[in-house]
Structure 1
């Protein structure tokens, strides 16, 4: 039944039912005697109409429910769904549901396609609000993906260039090329250049340090002044410049295809801490997008920071090199000090000419220098506060003091007074004592003060406290002496591990000279194929962590010889805790290593040639070797787990001595003796046995190892041992007759001293027995840390060789040359320390006398030092005074221009004579700082290095001394 007819039928039926009921009621009222059958017929017809109406209503409701489910559940297959209804409302509702389902399916397919990256096009057939919304979604997603790709591109680029900036941060040229080349590649440009900012004569400029085009490295040699061209304009404005229409002749890129002009130029300033350190120029055939420009801006900041760091590192490295060079020239400080004294004398002369400035100058002197005035008799007239604090004088002491109370040496005091009374200024350094008997050093300048008649009125002394400098120089001299004279190798590297200095001990040990290895890492040439790789890795890791290192390692000498060293490397830091250098000390322990290997092989030989059995601490057998089984006659399985008493007789096993033996062994005592044992067959054997307790890390005995030999072998060993002991005693007796020796216990207390040592120092054994090594040092050296470190190293197994300073019974300094060696017992525990040395005090005195003679000669003869290429190296104050040069201006003087040799003598002839060890005497004319030429007789001598090669040339101006003497004789 069609749904429209049903609706009409329901209306007619409902109306018919209503008419039937009304008719039934009227008939009942009119015809009261009407037969009931008629009523029932009417009601039956009405009920049939009602039933059909309800049935169709339920059917229609079920159809509408199915259509509703079709609209809400997309999983329903609409191709198998059929609506049996002719109701146009229902059909329209069904068609709308189907249409919406198609739109939703289409939208779903598009969304999935968009998610997979496909592009959706909208046609007229599927143009609706939902389709347009999907298309809008697609457009937004494309924009989002593009933005994400650009952000990822920028982040990836910054990360990549961060790694590049860390990699190429040592050389500015390589840095410039790699950074600009990678930048051009990354932004798909065609050419790029990077410039570094500089300044010369107050004119700022940009210098090209890297250039790249068409995947080739271009020559980078170009300077651009500030304001010149686009790059110079970028430097002036400190802002980005981007041009998209480049003039034809601005730049051309050459490739295999010919010449092409890029149309887009981007110039970015490199700014670090608001300071422009450079610029980067990029050329491209295509437009640079905004995100690329933003990336380049961020990259420019990172490049600028790296450039600033590299410049700081290069400047720091340069300063370190210059500092090292200055520290090696020990005479630099002395010459600068003398120059300061000369300037002070000039200031004093100016003071005498200008009385108005005198008070101000003396006020400055009072605040900075030690000042005292003496009358012509040497009595102290006055002294400033710094002078009184220096000598710890009270004000009341001044009137009782004389010059002799300051200058304790009568000869030097007389020399000073004679020169000053003669009207000459005099500068001198000498040692004096404070009122508290403390030793101090002063550098004093004595100047005569004349009255208006030119007569000596008083003497003015200006001085400086140089106690600390003298102490430092003495300490440096001693350290230098130790480094130069010790057999140990000393290496000093920079913080990167590159060699800056090695001592003669290193050169003797390895065969390498400093000139061959300067700037290299020690491991590059000292280590070889047999060097332990794990030790190398451990040392490398500790160096990276800047920690001290103590290792033993196999090294290779220059001639290929291998040797073992005990290596100690310590980092050196500045006052701020920053790493500056590494100092490595190497001691040759090849002999010790050989001895250790020898001991190892001997132990293995003992195991092969001796009977060995192991027990627990209660005496039960743990293990036994074949030699012992051969002696005792048992099989190994028969002995394992049995007690040692199974191999002795009943009397011995029950004896008190036997029980005490195992009690002693259980306590960790070492026992050696001859013992009787019985074989399996009952035969008695006599064994020379050594019981060795073995300890765990806590020092507790865990087992006992017994080494056994028959009596014949033991007797043989005893005789050999007696012979060796006699030989050793003969050696020791010979040593005691020729070399001084001191024996210390493991705590550093003196136990013994031989007659050689006692006779030279004047001590008796009871005078020093029980005292420490530090008690033998001069008082000023007893608390220096190097001696404490030396004893700590001795206790850890290191030995020392070189020169040692002590005092004798009268407190005078004595010098010894030899070794201090730790001595160990059989268990490798430190037993004592032995010093064996020869006395070298007279040699040291001769060396000091020689140094004094050299100093005296520098005080009377002008001296000039030249390198072998005749460049000026150094000079003494007398030459500076005669020439008018200072130490700084001396470096700029050229020998070929400012010096003339007499009689056609040539430098190469002088070098030849000096190489042959001859002394050259000739006449030399030089030009002073004022332009005047001075002629003098000179004596030239060569100074050789340790390889007997000419190292420098010394020129003594003897003629100037003779002229001065003649002038004095005439006067």
Structure 2
């Protein structure tokens, strides 16, 4: 529809109204003409006036054009208004179509247009928005894959150019530190014979560091990464990390640490360790390092095999030369064989010593697990406990045999058991994913403690074949959080309040009182804090009030209002104060944690209320007495009306 169409339609509608009105006027003239002609009188003004006088109903016929115009003109206005509204809707639709067209054109040209608010009101707009989101998602994924591919190309080029393990590890660290924006990095190569991880290169703050360190399997974070053959990402760095687990950080503590094992054909070849300033490491960086780890591990394995091959070739060449030179010297060869026999015996002795060292290392590992600060446990695919570290006896109070016998789930609340099983069910579908869960546990001595468990799905790892749970005791941190929470709540209350404010635990321990408590009890706040209500020498009435509050709150924890009368000494006189007390329960995780007690002195209000009652009673007595006097003096109203029929009584 063009812009002139509504205007033309309006004019046509108005013309129709005029035409119909003219037709009705012509019809009136024809009716008058026929009526006068039928009466055989001339058609003139005088005859028409005479006919109207004789027949007044013809006046209604004359007014018919006016009635037609009055009837059609409002309809014409309504139609014009409808046309205007239709025009507005058409313009709005055209504007939305133009915006969608512009949005689609910019999207097709590779731009990222900004969506407008009315876009989601139409199906086309929703479809264009979904197309934009899909394009952005595809570009992001393509950018991530390109970033990973470019990083692999950089490292692959280094792997092709360098063949010395030391120089190769340094070049890899130098390239990776800049590519993943790490501040420090270390490269550890695994020696299968010695069973150790040796630091071959360290790179920090764009400078090469000369650090020599070794870790055994399971020792520190480097050894733990090698033992688990999985990456480790830590954001909570312990203060003693440098002396226990790290070899590259010096006296500085990073925001986060990432350790990636170098594995090929299920064999460990080394470990990469990186430190970052930021606590958050992008998942794309972890994915890139995991994919790159296999490539580096395969190259390290090839370098080791080539080095061993060259060594064997050199030894073979030397042996051939020796045999060729000494071919005719049998006696000397015999002596050499005897010497070789002696070397073999020495090698056997060394091997036995290594076995003893391995046993000692196993014993040390057992001791470390026994006195560790966390409990490590493994559950199979059916959620049955298959292994638990010896440290459980120090942390939970139960032996390994008792935990294997079912104590692992018996001493946990029913809801927490359901949460643990639900977490394991979710992890069962997500290999390599890590979940965290906090719950309470009852130790063997009956003490309730709080535990935090990190669970990792390692069902696909043939050496473990289950879920690995790392559990630590967080009871002390929970208590600190609770104390801080209670303290922060109390700080929000006004210390200058005239009301009595107290916060009690469910067992009666007093966590907070404001200075007004001294006015009611005569005891300073410092002598009350962090003490049980039963241990404080309150007055009998105040102690009974506290006992009543604790009893009713533990029985049914809902808000209650109580009143208590407390004695008060004013010099030699003894008075009473009436206290209105509101007891408000406070919950944590669905359990009663604390009770907020707010007391307000209503002595003056009670005194005023009592005085009002006395005054009301006096007024009522006066009214009653006046009525009695009036009834005794005046005759009955019936007698008065009988004596004075046309009178009335005014009191």
TM-score band by shorter chain is: 0.3 to 0.5
Q: TM-score, normalised by structure 2?
A: 0.39
Q: TM-score, normalised by structure 1?
A: 0.27
> 1 or 2, which has the higher helix percentage?
2
Structure of larger gyration radius: 1
Q: Structure with the greater relative contact order (CA < 8 A, sep ≥ 6): 1 or 2?
A: 2
